[in-house]
């Protein structure tokens, strides 16, 4: 069956794409309806065992905690001190809102709207008396880039139920930025305000600001808003690490960050934690210490990036936790867990990733990592973490509509867990692994621009997701064909198969002769919970089967 026929078959089976010019161009000997009928028959015999995951179930899940609280692209949440109310930012950073005394009612009020975008907020340590609140974000400006990041101070009147005081808004700090902004804020146990700033660009630190010390960019800043210098909105603490150093902004506490999206303060120890968006391959979490240089853009995390660029006036400090893009692609950051509900997590830094929805926890023992592990795998677009008055850890899901989620123990399985196939022969996708004969229901396909893989031959197939109707007949799950820019979106249960083989060349009478093909690796992409999860099987020397490779990978 040629490619045009395959396209027509897929279109007819999915019932979403009209069979038009392509089908009309097919040879008259090809009967598309007959091919569809055959495919449906073959699908009825396909019993894919690629279900679940090979690793043990993760200990935690998430669930909506306030179902009645319907939000629009929420960005941040925190508990208003001295109350049960939640302060949150939504509308993609446009509104500062506050819930009623009982967030579960779903009722809230809008306290402030912004012309720019607000990413984070924090309250002053003396909030109950002075009502001061701070917002970190960006807005249009007359600067060369046309945009600036700001830290804005608002006043809520403690004598009037913490209503917003009109005309009390003022800019505390600003810097020119046209890309990675940072603008995460929080007060330390020392009473100082800590502020993150990004490198101000959108890719690869094109302005080479990561190690520049005469700018506010790519840093964690530390300022004193309670004792401002005359005519200023803040002062620089005298114990900042670079005070008095020529050519260095004295506000600098640490530097060498690409896009530090979230900053949080450990309520127990006062440690400063930052989640930093990586560039090409790695995502980072840092426990920030005075004078640290995190290396960007000479390094991406602990790995070389542009080694020809010059490091600033401090040695390179590696991440506390680091993740490859196979498991994280837009690191959010998190908070330290101090509630008593989950004793195993007490004192651990819990954080997540926007793109993959994965959540990890890590705990320190002095300067060493005591333990670090993945605790949940979600479909959320995680942009922030917080707490409510009951100690629940709140997870901010940046969708529309959305609500806040809470961490919960994974339910105990009531039935035996289905074993994930650890041998290719157990997947149900092959008629015979020996000889590489796939099941007749698998549809072969080609790609327009195949990658070079050290001369390896590749075969590609797709196994459609199949369910059953009330009569037990197979029903092919429909796909979303999307549009020209985003491509097709396949339903859960779909499996994509890709095998790599090397053509063995033998010699006879000093002349090369083509020999048998030896299969090296078969990869599966399995669609589950709205994500593609990849698995790799390594073929044995006898070419009779392939064994699942663990998540750490294997070189050959």
One domain for residues 204 and 302: yes
Q: Give me the helix-helix angle, 3-14 and 32-43, nearest 10°.
A: 70
- Tokens coding 231: 């005519």
pLDDT the model gives residue 513: 54
pLDDT the model gives residue 415: 64
Question: Of 394, 428, 444, which closes a domain?
Answer: 394
One domain for residues 367 and 487: no
Would you say residue 109 lies in a domain? no
Residue carrying the six token digits 């065992």: 49
Q: pTM score > 0.85 for this model?
A: no
Assess contact for 249 and 213: CB atoms under 8 A. Answer: yes
Q: How far apart are the first and last CA of the chain?
A: 35
Would you say residue 216 lies in a domain? yes
One domain for residues 334 and 472: no
pLDDT the model gives residue 76: 97
Nearest to 326 by CA among 532, 100, 177, 21: 532
Would you say residue 340 lies in a domain? yes
- Tokens coding 250: 């004295």
One domain for residues 388 and 427: no
pLDDT the model gives residue 221: 98
Which stretch of DSSP H or E encloses residue 43? helix 32-43
One domain for residues 341 and 376: yes
One domain for residues 221 and 358: yes
One domain for residues 205 and 132: yes
Would you say residue 553 lies in a domain? no
Split into its structural domains, the chain has a count of 2
Q: Measured between alpha carbons, how far is 97 from 95 in angstroms, rounded to an integer?
A: 6
Nearest to 494 by CA among 468, 467, 471: 467
Give the chain's length: 556
Cα 482 from chain centroid (whole Å) = 22
Assess contact for 289 and 273: CB atoms under 8 A. Answer: no
Would you say residue 31 lies in a domain? no
Question: Of 326, 361, 394, which closes a domain?
Answer: 394
One domain for residues 438 and 531: yes
pLDDT the model gives residue 109: 96
Q: Measured between alpha carbons, how far is 99 from 89 in angstroms, rounded to an integer?
A: 11
Assess contact for 326 and 281: CB atoms under 8 A. Answer: no
One domain for residues 292 and 332: yes
Q: Measured between alpha carbons, how far is 313 from 325 in angstroms, rounded to an integer?
A: 30
Q: Name residues of the chain where pLDDT drops below 50.
A: 1-30
pLDDT the model gives residue 400: 82
Would you say residue 315 lies in a domain? yes
Give the start-end residues of each E strand in 205-348.
Answer: 219-223, 252-255, 260-265, 272-276, 282-288, 299-300, 303-304, 321-324, 331-336
Assess contact for 291 and 360: CB atoms under 8 A. Answer: no
CATH number at residue 349: 2.120.10.30
Question: Of 361, 394, 427, which closes a domain?
Answer: 394
One domain for residues 367 and 498: no
The conformation of residue 445, written as its DSSP 8-state character, comes to -
| Containing structural domain, residue 424 | 44-55+417-548
One domain for residues 198 and 334: yes
Assess contact for 174 and 140: CB atoms under 8 A. Answer: no
Residue-wise pLDDT for 66-100, tens only, equals 999 999 999 999 999 999 999 999 999 999 999 99
Would you say residue 512 lies in a domain? yes
One domain for residues 376 and 235: yes
Assess contact for 216 and 242: CB atoms under 8 A. Answer: no
Determine how many CB atoms are found less than 10 A away from the CB of residue 230.
5
Q: Measured between alpha carbons, how far is 113 from 93 in angstroms, rounded to an integer?
A: 9
Provide CB contacts within 8 A for 413, sequence distance 6+: 57
Would you say residue 72 lies in a domain? no
């Amino acid at each position: 069956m040629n490619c045009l026929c395959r396209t027509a078959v897929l279109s007819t089976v999915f019932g979403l794409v009209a069979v038009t010019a392509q089908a009309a161009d097919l040879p008259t000997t090809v009967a598309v309806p007959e091919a569809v009928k055959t495919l449906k028959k073959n699908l009825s015999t396909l019993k894919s065992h690629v279900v679940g995951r090979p690793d043990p179930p993760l200990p935690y899940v998430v669930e909506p905690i306030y179902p009645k609280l319907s939000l629009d692209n929420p960005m941040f949440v925190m508990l208003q001190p001295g109350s049960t109310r939640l302060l949150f930012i939504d509308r993609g950073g446009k509104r500062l809102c506050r819930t009623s005394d009982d967030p579960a009612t779903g009722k809230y009020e809008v306290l402030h709207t912004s012309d720019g975008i607000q990413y984070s907020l924090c309250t002053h340590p003396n909030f109950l008396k002075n009502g001061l609140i701070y917002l970190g974000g960006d807005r249009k400006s007359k600067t060369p880039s046309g945009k600036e990041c700001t830290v804005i101070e608002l006043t809520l009147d403690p004598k009037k139920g913490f209503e917003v005081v009109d005309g009390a808004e003022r800019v505390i700090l600003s810097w020119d930025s046209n890309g990675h902004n940072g603008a995460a804020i929080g007060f330390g146990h020392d009473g100082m305000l800590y502020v993150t700033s990004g490198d101000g660009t959108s890719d690869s630190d094109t302005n080479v600001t990561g190690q520049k010390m005469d700018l506010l960019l790519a840093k964690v800043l530390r300022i004193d808003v309670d004792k401002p210098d005359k005519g200023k909105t803040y002062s620089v603490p005298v114990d900042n690490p670079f005070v008095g150093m020529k050519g260095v902004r004295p506000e600098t506490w640490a530097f060498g960050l690409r896009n530090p999206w979230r900053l949080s303060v450990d309520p127990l120890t006062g440690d400063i934690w930052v989640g930093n968006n990586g560039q090409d391959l790695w995502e980072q979490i840092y426990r920030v210490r005075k004078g640290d240089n995190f290396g960007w853009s000479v390094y991406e995390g602990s790995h070389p990036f542009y080694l020809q660029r010059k490091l600033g006036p401090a040695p390179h400090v590696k991440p506390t936790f680091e993740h490859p893009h196979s498991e994280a692609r837009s690191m959010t950051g998190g908070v330290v867990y101090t509630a008593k509900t989950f004793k195993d997590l007490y004192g651990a830094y819990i954080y997540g990733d926007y793109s993959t929805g994965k959540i990890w926890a890590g705990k320190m023992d002095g300067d060493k990592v005591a333990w670090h592990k993945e605790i949940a795998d979600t479909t959320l677009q995680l942009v922030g973490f917080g707490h409510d008055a009951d100690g629940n850890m709140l997870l901010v899901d940046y969708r529309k509509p959305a609500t806040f989620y809470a961490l919960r123990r994974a339910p105990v399985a009531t039935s035996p867990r289905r074993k994930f196939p650890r041998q290719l022969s157990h997947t149900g996708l092959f008629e015979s692994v020996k000889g590489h004969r796939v099941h007749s229901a698998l549809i072969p396909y080609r790609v327009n621009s195949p990658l070079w893989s050290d001369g390896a031959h590749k075969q590609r197939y797709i196994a459609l997701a199949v369910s059953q109707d009330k009569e037990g007949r197979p029903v092919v799950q429909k796909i979303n064909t999307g549009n020209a820019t985003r491509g097709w979106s396949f339903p859960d249960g779909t499996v994509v198969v890709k095998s790599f083989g090397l053509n063995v060349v033998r010699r006879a009478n000093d002349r090369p002769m083509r020999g048998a093909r030896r299969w090296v690796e078969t990869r599966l992409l399995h669609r589950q919970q709205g994500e593609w999860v990849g698995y790799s099987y390594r073929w044995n020397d006898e070419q009779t089967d392939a064994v699942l490779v663990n998540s750490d990978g294997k070189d050959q």
